[in-house]
Structure 1
Amino acid sequence: MIAIIDYGMGNLRSVQKGFEKAGVRAVVVRDPYQVDQAGGVVLPGVGAFADAMASLHYSAMNKAVYRAIEAGKPLLGICLGHQLLFDASEEWGYTGGLGVLPGLVRRLPGGLKVPHMGWNRIEIKKADPLLEGIPDRSSFYFVHSYAAVPADERMVLATAEYGMSFAAVVGRDNVYGIQFHPEKSSALGLKILENFGRIAEKC
């Protein structure tokens, strides 16, 4: 079972429905100890970085995330959830993140229309089970004004371009993050959710 963390910041039902369409059982959980019972964990998110971090601390879901990672369970951050995995964000000042992955979240370059919204292609940099069956240069649906800048390029699995090249998919050990919304990205997005479900089954 996949646990989708409800900390008050996310389009939870659409993520759950995406997993259902992909044939993967996923449940929205509000109790941190429900996360401990799951085979895989999803950290979604829509909104402001600082508000999200405050909600994670208030709900104690930050501790559940750390426990899941330490236990070796696959974890997938989606959109804001992907950004929260990094050390900090410069959104509205400086806010510390979960610090699971090294790097900072920075605003997209000036002069561009933000948020970056709509379909955009990704360039696959490294083969990984999460991207199995995804052709290079496939398009996915993005909505964001900030992007993670990983400190270690080796964990970048795919990039996208919007005024700059940015990390669209990252992965290190049992932790994954994707900047786009797979649940809104048609068949290929569902394929990624299916792949994550398969990864969780093997752990």
Structure 2
Amino acid sequence: MTRPNVVVLDYGSGNLRSAVRAVERAGAEVTLTSDRALAQDADGLVVPGVGAFAACMEGLRAIRGHEVIGRRLAGGRPVLGICVGMQILFERGVEHGVETEGCDEWPGVVERLQAPVVPHMGWNTVDVAAGSTLFRGIEQERFYFVHSYGVRDWTLQTNDRTRAPLVHWTTHGGDRFVAAVENGPLSATQFHPEKSGDAGAALLRNWVESL
């Protein structure tokens, strides 16, 4: 059985080495690159991300990574966003009063969490929607989060024309926000599967096996 080939997109953001190692352990051949052709043609593309939304978008646009993501999705080719790599898939981010356009694959705004203690840092459970591929067998597990911003309102309406995305939620300090999304070829997690021990390893394995 051949291992699927996965590109971890190098656009200057994210804990890239740990993402590469984790996806390799999940059963994929992994290349870390900013090369658009390789990213376009891989069986799977992982978009990591840490830090500020605006800085991530700037790095992504510099290598035209937003175009790669859009083209892959138009062709039904899998993409997995992690942490800020999930946030930039939304329409826009607001940080310190500054609005930045995202990739606009999903409507919605990334905004500061309304919790007494921010950042949200540490282990948390996820309210997993029924029928999940990503969370198969790990629905009750805890995952590692570290972020101050999130998507607190899911606004995409499909009106039954297409299969509705699976949206998974979590709460921190009484504030509810999106923890993960599965939407056809596009999947994303607000938490870091590569830092989430056995549960994160199982989630990445589920994703790699789906390729």
Fold agreement, TM-score > 0.5: yes
Match of 2:183 in 1: 172
Match of 2:66 in 1: 62
Which secondary structure does the structure 1 equivalent of 2:127 belong to? strand
Match of 1:95 in 2: 100
Unaligned 5+ runs, structure 2: 158-163
* 1:113-153 deviation line (CA, Å, top 9, x unaligned): 221110011111232211111133x2100000001232138
* 1:36-88 deviation line (CA, Å, top 9, x unaligned): 22011111000110111111111111111111111111111000000000000
Match of 1:134 in 2: 138
Unaligned 5+ runs, structure 1: none
How many residues were matched structurally? Answer: 198
Which secondary structure does the structure 2 equivalent of 1:36 belong to? helix
RMSD of aligned Cα (Å): 1.4
Q: Distance in 1 between matches of 2:86 and 2:139?
A: 22
Match of 1:123 in 2: 127
Match of 1:144 in 2: 147
Q: Distance in 2 between matches of 1:140 and 1:171?
A: 17
Q: Distance in 1 between matches of 2:111 and 2:74?
A: 27
Q: Distance in 1 between matches of 2:88 and 2:78?
A: 16
Quote how far apart the aligned CAs of 1:156 are. Answer: 4.3
Which secondary structure does the structure 1 equivalent of 2:8 belong to? strand
Match of 2:160 in 1: none
Indicate the structure with greater helix content.
1
Which secondary structure does the structure 2 equivalent of 1:188 belong to? helix
Quote how far apart the aligned CAs of 1:21 are. Answer: 1.9
Q: Distance in 1 between matches of 2:6 and 2:207?
A: 9
Name the amino acid aligned to 1:139: R
